[in-house]
């Protein structure tokens, strides 16, 4: 696989300001892709939980910038 991105394309994309995503109005979305109110609430609640976790992780990083992540215990392979 080759990289076809040119430096001018990369520069143009880096210069473009980030935009806010928005929802389409319900009449523009096909019925099979529409979400009910309960699903929207669950999704928004999940996003809020993720943002809270990310904020806590960022605050912990600021408090201890060189803290390490504990390693998970992995059993060595068994001899045959």
Q: pLDDT tens, 3-26? A: 444 445 555 555 666 676 666 677
Enclosing H/E stretch for 57:
helix 37-63
pLDDT of 3 reads 47
For residue 41, what are the CA distances in angstroms to 19, 22, 37, 44, 74?
Answer: 23, 16, 6, 5, 38
Cα distances (angstroms) measured from residue 20 to each of 17, 23, 28, 40: 10, 10, 19, 18
pLDDT of 2 strictly over 50: no
pLDDT on residue 48: 93
Tens digit of each residue's pLDDT (9 = 90 or more) over 10-67: 555 556 666 766 666 777 888 888 888 999 899 999 999 999 999 998 888 888 766 6
Distance (Å) of CA 43 to CA 46, 54, 68, 74: 5, 16, 31, 34
How many Å apart are CA 64 and CA 1, to the nearest integer?
41
Residue 33: its pLDDT value, please? 83
pTM above 0.75, yes or no: no
What is residue 43's predicted lDDT score, i.e. its pLDDT?
A: 92
């Amino acid at each position: 696989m080759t990289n076809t991105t040119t430096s001018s394309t990369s520069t143009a994309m880096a210069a473009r300001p980030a935009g806010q995503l928005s929802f389409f109005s319900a009449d523009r979305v096909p019925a099979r892709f529409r979400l009910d109110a309960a699903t929207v609430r669950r999704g928004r609640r999940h996003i809020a939980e993720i943002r809270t976790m990310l904020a806590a992780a960022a605050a912990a990083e600021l408090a201890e910038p060189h803290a390490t992540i504990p390693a998970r215990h992995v059993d060595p392979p068994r001899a045959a």
